Structure formats: structure tokens, C-alpha cells
Amino acid sequence: MIKEYDYDLSAHNTFRMKVKCACYIKYDSIEELESLPWDELPKPIKHIGEGSNLLFTKDFPGTVLHSAIRHVKYVDLGLDEVPVIAGAGVKWDALAAELCGHGLWGAENLSLIPGEVGAAAVQNIGAYGVEFKDIVKGVTCYDLLERRRCKFTVEQCGYGYRESMFKEADGRYIVTSVLLRLSRVPRPRLEYKGLADIDASSPMAVRQAVIDIRRSKLPDPEDIGSAGSFFKNPVISAVDFLRVVEAAGTDKVPHYVLDGGMIKVPAAWLIDSCGLKGETEGGAAVYDKQPLVIINASGSATPSDILELERRVVATVHARYGITLHPEVEHI
Ligand code: EPU
């Protein structure tokens, strides 16, 4: 276990904000987590993963917890379905690579998403037509309120588009491990337009295609600080969509009709069509290859640069289309 006070979080958030927390604890097992002196820890308590989907808006006065529970177990009994248990601190993409390498289907479309397994379960990470909820069967947690271990089925996790019961519970449940269900039987999911013509002969081949698409659109986390998509894609009514079409002055507004008749419009398109690609504020910028992403362009952007750029993007899109963009990135 590592426990530090007045700790610099720069290496724990992919936006690379230079912020501190009063206390930082990295624990290696559920037993260590359970035995923390909860009443004495600086409050509030915030659990993070790799810090790839959050923005610290200032120094954090409480305790930041981080899991190093890193076991991965699976038994291949020759059945079509292979159950996999993974600790919350396992790097998601390392697990995805391992599963694809074993010829197991399910994780390939979620390749190269930064972050750790625990955060993947909280956020319901998604890309290229697949969400975490499609491969998870159950989630094991530590309940901070009742101070005991508990388990949830996937139905109990309340998953939606980047939503879950864990997010709603606002930190009450700390994910310790997940149970996934992978498939031996080929199950390529190629509905996303960029995947239509790829080699889908193995999970590894699909993984490689997904990696190529991500590398062409999204900033390389090694080079440029960001937290991936900064905004959610808005889901709007048909009437609001008509207003967008009218304001855009074209019928060619990209959109996806969802079950139930609501319409998802790419926030990237809304931002792009407002001419905001490459827009800057201090050291922060709207990424020019994928305007859904805000980047720490200078390497020394401050939280207020990012917040001001966010405010401007939201205001500009709202003024033109009457649609309010909501951040996907958690603000702390
Ligand atoms: N677009 C533009 N201009 C651009 C780029 C994109 O107009 O410069 C429009 C195009 O119409 C394009 C559409 O945006 O077809 C959608 O773009 P893309 O397929 O790249 O996906 P996205 O909707 O922008 C979402 C996720 C990504 C995920 C991709 C692929 C959210 C908030 N983001 O982005 O997730 O990788 O789909 O499935 O849902 C993340 O969460 O951090 C993330 C990267």
C-alpha cells in the first residue's frame, strides 16, 4: 500500500492538470481497502482509475483512492462462453489485448480505450457499437456506506449510455473486480461504419482495425493530454432535431435514430459546424481531428483554461442549435 499526503496528481490524470490532493492511497487488495482508517481520512473520498475521464478543476481537499487489485483469472472449459474475473486495477486495454490474443470475442471493439477495469464498469465505456455492459455479467464492490462487500448483476448495474447505478450512487460503491463473459464462438460486431469492410477473421484482427481508427482520430495519450471525448453525444427529440436541421441549413445532419424514437446527434458535428475546431483558450484547444475532444495543447493548460473553453463550446452550440451539450468527462 502507498499512502502519501499533499500529493501531486499530475501523473494520475491524463489531462495532466497540476493539482494536488490532501491524501493519496493506492491499495493492493480488498483486505487493505477494508482496513483503511475511514473515519480519519481527509474528506471527501474520491476513487479514481487511470484518471482518463476526469478533470480536476482545482486541488482536491480529500483522499484519492486508487486500486492496484490486478488479478485476471479465466478457465477455458471448451465451452462457447468463457467467464473471466478481473481486478479493478487491471489496465483495461492490457486485458482486452490478452483476451483477443486468446481468441476470445467480446472486448475487441473496446480496444485502446484508456483506463482501468473498475472505471470501465462505473462508466460503461463504449466504442464502435459495443459497450462494457455487453460483456459484463457481474460487478463486485466494497460498499463504503455499510462497510461491507457486495455484488451486483449486470441488470442491477443500471447501465445506459455512459451511465450506471455506480455513477448515480456517487462514490458509495468501490468496484473491486468484475466478471466478464467472453465468447469462443466468433461474434464480430461490425455495425460501426468504419468497420464494415475490415478483416474480421479473429478478435485480434478486429482489435487492430479499431486501434487504427482510434489512432487516426484521437490524440495519442503519450503525446497530448486529454480525457477522450469531452462531451456526450446529445439525444434529442424529433422536433429538436428538426430545429437543428433548420439552423444548419442542410438536410445532411448526421444522426442515429434510437429505439424509442429519440435521435442521437454527434456532438463532434455540432461543434465542427460552429467552426470551433482548433479553438483555443490559454493552453487548451478543441482538437482539430476530433472536435469532441478538448486537449491540453501546450502541456501547461490550467483547469480554468479547459473550463472556459468548455463554456464557450457549450454556449456557441446552444446559441446556434438550441442544444445543450453535457460533459462526458467527470469534473472534480
Ligand atoms: N464528426 C464531425 N467532424 C469531425 C469528426 C467527427 O462532424 O471532425 C462527426 C461525423 O459525423 C462522425 C461523427 O461525428 O460521423 C461521429 O464521430 P465518431 O464516430 O468519431 O464518434 P463520436 O460520436 O464522436 C463516440 C464516443 C467515442 C468512441 C466513438 C466510436 C462519445 C461521447 N464518444 O464518439 O468515445 O470512441 O464514438 O464509437 O460517445 C470517449 O468516450 O472518450 C470516446 C473516445
pLDDT per position as a tens digit, 84-135: 999 999 999 999 999 999 999 999 999 999 999 999 999 999 999 999 999 9
**Ligand 1 in reach of 114 Cβ (< 6 A):** no
**Ligand 1 in reach of 321 Cβ (< 6 A):** no
Same domain, 203 and 153: yes
- Residue 198's domain comprises 72-216
The separation between the first and the last C-alpha atoms of the chain, rounded to the nearest angstrom, is 24
Same domain, 188 and 151: yes
CATH number at 286 reads: 3.90.78.10
Which of 50, 52, 111, 162 is catalytic? The answer is 162
Give the cell for residue 86: 478481473
Q: What's the pLDDT at 21?
A: 98
CATH number at 163 reads: 3.30.465.10
- Alpha helix (H) residue ranges in 79-176: 92-101, 117-123, 165-168
**Ligand 1 in reach of 166 Cβ (< 6 A):** no
Q: What's the pLDDT at 76?
A: 80
Q: What's the pLDDT at 183?
A: 97
As a whole number, mean pLDDT of residues 161-189 equals: 97
229 is catalytic: yes
Q: Could you tell me the pLDDT band of residue 49, with boundaries at 50, 70 and 90?
A: very high
Give the cell for residue 253: 445532419
Q: Give me the DSSP letters along 75-117.
A: ---SSSEEEEEEETTSBHHHHHHHHHHTT-BSSGGGTT--SBH
Ligand 1 atom 10, closest CA: 269
Q: Does pLDDT of 78 surpass 90?
A: no
Same domain, 98 and 198: yes
Q: What's the pLDDT at 14?
A: 97
Same domain, 92 and 53: no
Same domain, 155 and 235: no
Compute the distance from residue 113 Cα to the ligand 1 centre, in Å.
Answer: 13
Q: Which of 159, 215, 229, 265 to mutate to test the pocket of ligand 1 (most atoms within 8 A of CB)?
A: 229
Average pLDDT, the chain: 97
CATH number at 50 reads: 3.30.43.10
Q: What's the pLDDT at 258?
A: 93
Rounded to whole angstroms, the Cα distance separating 213 from 204 reads: 14
Ligand 1 atom 27, closest CA: 127
149 is catalytic: no
As a whole number, mean pLDDT of residues 240-247 equals: 97
- Give the residue from 216, 245, 277 where a domain finishes: 216
Q: What's the pLDDT at 242?
A: 96
Same domain, 209 and 277: no
Compute the distance from residue 268 Cα to the ligand 1 centre, in Å.
Answer: 6
Whole-number percent of the chain with pLDDT over 70 = 100
| Number of domains present in the structure of the chain | 3
Q: Does pLDDT of 75 surpass 90?
A: no
Q: What's the pLDDT at 275?
A: 98
- Give the residue from 166, 192, 216 where a domain finishes: 216
> What DSSP element (H or E) covers 246?
helix 238-248
Compute the distance from residue 270 Cα to the ligand 1 centre, in Å.
Answer: 11
Q: Which has more pLDDT, 125 or 259?
A: 125
* CA 161 to ligand 1: nearest atom: 39
Q: What's the pLDDT at 11?
A: 96
Same domain, 140 and 229: no
pTM of the model: 0.96
Q: Could you tell me the pLDDT band of residue 77, with boundaries at 50, 70 and 90?
A: confident
Same domain, 32 and 141: no
Ligand 1 atom 29, closest CA: 127
Reported as a single tens digit per residue, the pLDDT across 4-44 is 999 999 999 999 999 999 999 999 999 999 999 999 999 99
Same domain, 76 and 176: yes
Give how far Cα 126 sits from Cα of 73, 232, 292, Å: 23, 12, 15
Same domain, 63 and 126: no
Rounded to whole angstroms, the Cα distance separating 63 from 7 reads: 10
Neighbouring C-beta atoms of residue 151, cutoff 10 Å: 12
- Give the residue from 167, 196, 216 where a domain finishes: 216
* CA 328 to ligand 1: nearest atom: 32
Same domain, 80 and 211: yes
Same domain, 309 and 206: no
